[in-house]
Amino acid sequence: MSDSPLVGVVMGSSSDWDTMKHAADILAEFGIAFEARVVSAHRMPDDMFAYAEAAATRGLQAIIAGAGGAAHLPGMLAAKTVVPVLGVPVASRHLQGVDSLHSIVQMPKGIPVATFAIGNAGAANAALFAVAMLAHHDAALRERLHAYRVRQTEVARAMTQDLQG
């Protein structure tokens, strides 16, 4: 694994980590060099802008950004970099993440944020999407992604066999 991170996993608070670690776990499983950081949009806006502005020159190929509530982190990062931003709505206490989803998915035309499902599945899928992006130029990684899909198929087929048990 290269030392330089290819993917940034960022979040608004350490309380988002229980969700965002599902992205980190997938990246680790595929051997993708990544970094995980808290970059709060409203509590450390200058740091957030600095992170976004340095992303391309640091070699980041994708930023997976998770946030909850008025989840402006993915959109604000996307406003400051052309590195693709993959947004993960984190489940909030009062509105269960529907607020986070709407905040992230409803970007006005011109600044896209690829938006995933609320919670753990969204975090994992954002990482799998980043893997697919990187695999476009990496045949070995593409093979590992195919193998991952094959394993999922085998697990799903085994479910039917269990029913006939």
Binding mask 75-94 for ligand RP5 (x = CB under 6 A): ---------------x----
The answer on whether 43 is annotated among ligand-binding residues is yes
Ramachandran category for residue 108: left, alpha or beta (phi over 0 → left; psi -120 to 50 → alpha): beta
69 binds ligand RP5 (CB under 6 A): yes
CB 119 within 8 A of CB 95: no
74 binds ligand RP5 (CB under 6 A): no
CB of 39 to ligand RP5, least distance (A): 10
The answer on whether 99 is annotated among ligand-binding residues is no
Give the residue, chosen from 1, 4, 15, 112, that forms a contact with ligand RP5 under the rule CB under 6 A: 15
The answer on whether 16 is annotated among ligand-binding residues is yes
DSSP for 105-152 reads H-PPTTS--EE--SSHHHHHHHHHHHHHHHHTT-HHHHHHHHHHHHHH
Binding-site residues from annotation: 13, 16, 43
Binding-site residues from annotation for substrate: 13, 16, 43
